């Protein structure tokens, strides 16, 4: 049972990575989009963290 479970998880992980790195018509992948948008998301997360710290300190 453990071997079958490991094989299924491995196959699912392989398929996911292949899908994320697959290029579309424009030559970009989902991974490229994530890499491009990550700094923006990080800044939003920092702003949200600051807001929560201010709310909790009152």
Helix (H) or strand (E) holding 21: helix 2-21
Does 17 map to a domain? no
Structural domain includes residue 14: no
Flag whether the pTM goes above 0.75. no
State percent of the chain over pLDDT 90: 90
Rounded distance between C-alpha atoms, residue 28 and residue 8, angstroms:
28
Residue 12 lies in a domain: no
Asked, for residue 57, whether it belongs to a domain, the answer is yes
Region 37-58 average pLDDT = 93
Residues 6 or more apart in contact with residue 30 via CB below 8 angstroms: 19, 20, 21, 22
Please count the structural domains in the chain: 1
Which pLDDT score is estimated for 1? 81
CA distance 38 to 44: 10
* CA angle in degrees (0–180, nearest 5) for 15-21-23: 120
Name the pLDDT band for 27 (thresholds 50, 70, 90): very high
Domain contains 46:
yes
């Amino acid at each position: 049972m453990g071997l079958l479970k490991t094989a299924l998880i491995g196959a699912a992980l392989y398929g996911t990575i292949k899908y994320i790195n697959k290029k579309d018509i424009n030559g970009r992948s989902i991974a490229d989009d994530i890499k491009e948008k990550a700094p923006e998301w990080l800044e939003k997360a920092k702003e949200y963290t600051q807001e929560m710290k201010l709310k909790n300190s009152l």
